[in-house]
Structure 1
């Protein structure tokens, strides 16, 4: 699987599916979640309300993922995942890794070939971007993809992109050393 890292606006990304760092309510919020809801238009909120009226009446659990159509976005699908909130005491790295893994599981179910991720939980949820980079990149790199061919980490600013680039270089160097 190809892994790309860039700075940009995930709402304009043309991947088959973009990942939303959603709140458990699925009804929008701040940061990436709010931007995706605004760009997708009212259809996304309606689809999320349907999810809340059915399977996810109690909200989407932390670490899980579910998809909706992309509506007015260039991406065909939005995969919503709820990252752990470090500010609320959710500091288990396994929960964060689950977000990336479950989003890829959903992408596989959809038959998506390209997926774009934000830095899940690195914003208002208080996780250190370097930890998010390490966990996210490792989880994606080690995922046994079938249909997903390319994952792009679309990051909000150049500082976060550099953190992800550095983490990726470290992982590639370590992998090269173990292969030798």
Structure 2
């Protein structure tokens, strides 16, 4: 579960924290492969482009800090719009 998007308050750090904490717990449990949905982009109305950039940047930062922690991390999306947003975010870095 992620944060509800707000136009009056920047909650992007809360969204990033969802990914960081998931990665931390997965590492503690010895998981080597993870799959992330597009957290908060459904009923919590987070804009998909922003959510994708936050997800990709947060996961990349975690992998830079611990490059051998995981074998594979996937972003699992539900439609073409989300796929396009994640592909763009992945291409940025």
Shared fold, TM over 0.5 = yes
* Cα deviation, residue 148, structure 1: 1.6
Distance 2:57 2:14 in 1: 14
* Cα deviation, residue 149, structure 1: 2.1
Whether 1:161 aligns to 2:89 is no
Map 1:19-168 → 2, pairs under 5 A: 82-86=1-5, 91-143=10-62, 144-145=65-66, 146-168=68-90
**Cα displacement string for residues 88-122 of structure 1 (whole angstroms, at most 9, x for unaligned residues):** x6641110000000000000011011000000001
* Cα deviation, residue 133, structure 1: 0.5
SS at match of 2:73: strand
Q: Which runs of 5+ in 2 are unaligned?
A: none
CA contact (8 A) 1:117 1:153 kept: yes
Aligned-pair RMSD on alpha carbons?
Answer: 1.8
Hey, which of these two has a bigger chunk of helix by percent?
Answer: 2
Moved over 4 A (4+): none
Task: Give the TM-score normalised by the residue count of structure 2.
Answer: 0.87
Larger Rg: 1
Hey, which of these two has a bigger chunk of strand by percent?
Answer: 1
